[in-house]
Amino acid sequence: MSAATIAATLSALGIQFLERGWLSANNTVFVGKKGPTAVVDTGYGAHASQTLSLVRHALNGRPLNHIVNTHLHSDHCGGNALLAEHYPDARIWIPPGQWEAVQQWDPVALTYQPTGQECPPFAAHQQLLQGATIELGEWVWEIHAAPGHDPHSVVLFQPDHRCLISADALWENGFGVVFPELEGEQAFDDVSATLELIRTLRPIVVIPGHGSVFTDVSAALDRAASRLAQFQSNPDAHLRYALKVLIKYRLLEWQQIEFQDLHRWAEVTPYLAAHMPSDNTQSWLKNLLNDLQRSGALRQEGSLILNT
């Protein structure tokens, strides 16, 4: 039933869903015969040429009218610049909270430098305002603020078909790292409020930022709430998880790196460096790597760190 529901909903909305790996966020392409074409989220910069190829194939010769970003983490907007180069008439829509940072292209405010990630610069044209709507394909989508994982993130909801583009606010098995917590900001309550918003919207189909489209939304919300409660009761566990995610994310791009090079990168990456101990930094990093190896996320061969 769920597969049939997903297929029927995506077809009715004129959506071609492109599930990507964990380095690049999923792409939701609106290719219906009527209304503006669009892509929601564009993947990581290192995969931009692949994103362009996939979007061009999905559009099948049609122009691209809108490029929409649920938030501005590098894995969700890294393909913007290349898509805009090939589709110069496309309008780029972003959440309002980082509007000035994009206009001035401030890699610190946009968190690319603090996280040790990269994103090709792009220009934005319009803002995804809370409470407003946007036409994608033949249907009107509601714009809802969804802070937590990112303070400026939004989700998009189509009420006629009860379909939610949830980005990293809700996955089938959790949600994205709560990055404001790494900066000492209290953001777990924002995650809770966003999960409650999604419960209130009562979507039937959820298109997440990572992973497959799913329909058992109640169960996913319960799992997310349970995970959040664990982090709230033990913030250090979330911090450790977040630091490992940052390492794994970069390793997805590098595929392999010498330990000393990884250590140097960690020392100059603010989100990691801020939580390093004052001494024994190599032992601290090796401890994180050992955790990742035990979980199967990487392999260590002498001084070489390899992605798995």
Give the CATH number, domain containing residue 254: 1.10.10
CATH of the domain at 79: 3.60.15.10
pLDDT category of residue 22 using cuts at 50, 70 and 90: confident
Residues 67 and 200 in one domain: yes
Q: Which helix (H) or strand (E) holds 236?
A: helix 235-254
Mode of pairing for the β-strands spanning 126-127 and 91-94: parallel
Mode of pairing for the β-strands spanning 126-127 and 38-40: unpaired
Containing domain of residue 298, as a range? 244-307
Residues 28 and 158 in one domain: yes
The distance of Cα 107 from the centroid of its chain, to the nearest Å, equals 17
**pLDDT, tens only, 245-290:** 999 999 999 999 999 999 999 999 999 999 999 899 999 999 999 9
The pLDDT of 110-120, averaged and rounded, is 94
The tokens describing 57, both together, are: 């194939």
The per-residue pLDDT for 21 is: 86
pLDDT category of residue 1 using cuts at 50, 70 and 90: low
Rounded to 10°, the helix 217-233/235-254 angle is 110
Residues 98 and 228 in one domain: yes
Task: Tell whether 238 is covered by a domain.
Answer: no
Residues 206 and 130 in one domain: yes
* Region class of 150: left (phi > 0), else alpha (psi between -120 and 50), else beta: beta
Residues 131 and 198 in one domain: yes
Q: How high is the mean pLDDT of the chain?
A: 97
Residue type, 100: E
Of 199, 233, 267, the residue that ends a domain is 233
Q: How far apart are CA 94 and CA 61, in angstroms?
A: 25
Residues 197 and 249 in one domain: no
Q: How far apart are CA 32 and CA 29, in angstroms?
A: 9
Residues 143 and 178 in one domain: yes
